[in-house]
A and B are shown apart, each in its own frame.
Chain A
Amino acid sequence: MICQYYRSMIEKQADTNHAIESPQLTAHLQQCSACRDYREQLTVLGIQLQSQPAYEISEDQLQHLQAAVMEQLSDESLGQAALCGFTQPKPVTRFHIIRSIAAVLVLAAVAGLSFRVLIPSTSTHETLPTPSQMTSQFSAAMTFPDQLMQSEIQSLRNDTKRMISFLRKCTPSSPAVTEVLVTETDSEEKVN
């Protein structure tokens, strides 16, 4: 039982790059050869794993690969880096300007129509509308711009989705992406 405690301490030492000093462990190791062997075994295994090759690539392969990596960094990827950069403001494109003008025009048209329906001119209506006519006119006035607003909101939603997916591509360490990848890792475990 007591050896189990010291062995877990030995394991902890093997898990870290920093030396963990423990006078109790030192004292135990002096009188317990089984735990001394255990520590020796872990130390040797660690040295073997560090020193023996797992896969070594040649100097030629390395240089070829380094050159290939730098070659692939085209102007396009450089631009993307600037776009994601915290120091660079996001550029306003022609698409954004046209979209903004179109949105203003649509809103102006909707506002004008609503005004006409809600407050009809006396020249077109000689008599006052009945309460039921007023209700139907009011609901028509409310649903028409509402539909337009819905489509505008949907369009904004789509833009936001596109923006989020772009940002995710740029930030692989973001929690949302990590979540996806945890799922990937889990499925890999199942394969194993």
Chain B
Amino acid sequence: MVTNQQQSDEVLARLAATGDRAAFNELVQRYCRPLAEFAAARLTTFQDAEDIVQETFLRAYTAMGSFDPSYSLKNWLFTIAYRLVVSEYRKKRPDRLSEQAAEALTEETESASPQSSWLWNEVRKMKTSDHDILWLRYKQDMEIEDIAAVMGKSASGIRVQLHRARKRLAKKMKGADNHTAAFQNGTVCLERTHS
């Protein structure tokens, strides 16, 4: 007999649409961590990420019946989460906050997170959409077309943005590598890899 762990996302989604809680639970086991880490990396606190993840799964569960199995379930979940993250970020955006609160948020977003490496903290200083593209590409191995679908943008636009973001990041990496021991958290050093 095939267990839920052996089933594909799409089969589990079909089962969940009929009210099968065990099938939905398996999907939660698979995607809770990546969704939480995506939201936390973007919104900087685990508390914010918790709300996003809960809301993502609740929306997915209630809409599971209308989920199109020809679409990737992973992309669908990330699409829901991404939209919630964007909406949450907008609520907190600096122009809607008092001067003091806006300053605190900017500091919070730009300061080094203890859970993040130097490199990802540098990514967080970039545009939020740069961060999202890099995260989905390198933490979820998503292809350009998938990232475009999640973010509701054109594939060509995502490609150009990814190339530019990588270039800026490579420059920063080179600079940091030449002058400081910034890769304390890292496993590979640019110079060392060359040799």
Q: In the complex, which of the residues B65, B120, B159, B169 contacts A53, with contact meaning CB atoms closer than 8 Å?
A: B120
**At the interface, yes or no: A122 with Cβ under 8 Å from chain B?**
no
Contact (Cβ within 8 A) B173 A16: no
- CB contact list, A59-93 vs B, under 8 A: 61-62, 65-66, 68-70, 72-73, 77-78, 80-88
**At the interface, yes or no: B41 with Cβ under 8 Å from chain A?**
yes
Cα distance A124–B37 when bound, in Å? 83
Cα distance A104–B173 when bound, in Å? 75
Q: In the complex, which of the residues B49, B163, B188 contacts A48, with contact meaning CB atoms closer than 8 Å?
A: B188
Q: Which residues of A are found within 8 Å of B162, using beta-carbon distances? A: 15
Cα distance A191–B17 when bound, in Å? 37
Known contacts A47-B188, A185-B153, A81 near B64 by CB under 8 Å: yes
Residue of B63, B71, B166, B193 with most partner-chain A CB within 10 A:
B63
Contact (Cβ within 8 A) A52 B143: no
**At the interface, yes or no: B100 with Cβ under 8 Å from chain A?**
no
4 A-B pairs with least C-beta separation? A85-B65, A52-B117, A84-B65, A49-B138
- CB contact list, B43-63 vs A, under 8 A: 46, 49-50, 53-54, 57-59, 61-63
Residues of A within 8 A of B (CB): 11, 14-17, 40-42, 44-57, 61-62, 65-66, 68-70, 72-73, 77-78, 80-88, 167, 169-173, 178, 181-182, 184-185, 187-189, 191-192
Q: Which residues of B are found within 8 Å of A51, using beta-carbon distances? A: 186-188
Cα distance A55–B185 when bound, in Å? 13
Contact (Cβ within 8 A) A56 B29: no
A160 to chain B minimum Cβ distance, whole angstroms, is 18
Known contacts A11-B163, A16-B143, A73 near B37 by CB under 8 Å: no
- Write the chain B residue with the least CB distance to A82: B19
- Write the chain B residue with the least CB distance to A74: B58
Q: Which residues of A are found within 8 Å of B134, using beta-carbon distances? A: 49
Contact (Cβ within 8 A) B159 A15: yes
Q: In the complex, which of the residues B41, B83, B186, B188 contacts A55, with contact meaning CB atoms closer than 8 Å?
A: B41
Q: Which residues of B are found within 8 Å of A185, using beta-carbon distances? A: 86, 151-153
Contact (Cβ within 8 A) A81 B83: no
Q: In the complex, which of the residues A45, A62, A167 contacts B166, with contact meaning CB atoms closer than 8 Å?
A: A45
- Write the chain B residue with the least CB distance to A38: B170
Known contacts A45-B169, A57-B36, A17 near B65 by CB under 8 Å: no
Contact (Cβ within 8 A) A178 B152: yes
Cα distance A44–B187 when bound, in Å? 11
17 contacts between A and B (CB under 8 A): A44-B190, A44-B193, A49-B169, A53-B117, A53-B185, A54-B117, A66-B28, A69-B53, A70-B28, A73-B58, A81-B65, A88-B65, A170-B63, A181-B83, A184-B87, A188-B86, A192-B127
Q: In the complex, which of the residues A40, A42, A65, A192 contacts B53, with contact meaning CB atoms closer than 8 Å?
A: A65
Residue of A66, A86, A171 with most partner-chain B CB within 10 A:
A66
Cα distance A170–B60 when bound, in Å? 8
Residue of B32, B65, B170, B185 with most partner-chain A CB within 10 A:
B65
Contact (Cβ within 8 A) B57 A55: no
Cα distance A78–B143 when bound, in Å? 33
Q: Which residues of B are found within 8 Å of A84, using beta-carbon distances? A: 62-66
